[in-house]
Structure 1
Amino acid sequence: MATPQLSLSVQYALKPDDVPTRHQFRRWVKAALQGDAEVTLRVVDSEEGQTLNREYRDKDYATNVLTFVYDDMPEDAGLPLMGDIVLCDPVVRREAQEQGKALEAHYAHLVVHGVLHLQGYDHETDDEAEGMEALETQIVTKLGYDNPYQIKEDQ
């Protein structure tokens, strides 16, 4: 099987010194990608994250990651998978701290999570959640990070 081709655009609405680099984002997206894709990944503040979550999911709070799939193209058009992944930096930071995780590892996990959503994976049912979490864990640990679902004992 050929290596999936990736066109990745990374946008920083805010860019603290320790937010992941374009190179890191590309590595994480490619690790989870199963076919060709055109992806825009955007790092946002709480205000933009909350606005997007409210407008598209009817939830009035900022969330860690939002995935938008451009699925209105005919499947036989021969086009790559296309979509956006939005990461809310303040939420990602807060969660990493609360969960005792390194910021980089949490970002990696959420990027993998978003890319899997782009490809049709979901976690609406227990079976879906179990399958998606297993795949996320496999990808994230292969990237060299800890199992994102393992609870740290020393918390």
Structure 2
Amino acid sequence: MPIDPAAIGTTLPPVEMTVDAARLRFFAKAIGETNPIYLDSTAAAAAGHPALPVPPTFLFSIELGGPDPFPWISDLGVDLRFVLHGEQAFTYHSTAHAGDTLVATSTISDIYSKKGGALEFVVKDTAVTRVDGSAVADLRTVIVVRNPGVRQ
């Protein structure tokens, strides 16, 4: 079933998260980060950070912390069994640190298909700010939906 392009422009409910130092350490270890500024508060302070800095790709995980991290995909009528992660991109404006409360606000910015509808693409743009509104980063996520009923 094709994804309705009328969803383009839909803004999703914002997600708020206070960044926890233990979660940052866990994330850094999980991705194989060895730079001590991401693991040790003393090293972070020596490098001029007020607390552990957020590793670059951590911001992608803000929206994944809830009990159902993908309601927006289900709301589009997409079966998660056919979803692939297509792309992610980041534009950074400032460094976030442990203790910052961040707000992620996402908008579905494009929906298109390729291969005669066998593959559909949903583009979601997310602005990450601190609660005071100062910009941290802009994220772009592209998911690919495989439509097994469409033959090419």
TM-score (norm: length of structure 2)? 0.26
Which is higher, the Rg of structure 1 or of structure 2? 2
Q: Which has the higher helix share?
A: 1
Q: Which has the higher strand share?
A: 2
Between 1 and 2, higher relative CO (CA 8 Å, sep ≥ 6) is seen in 2
TM-score (norm: length of structure 1)? 0.26
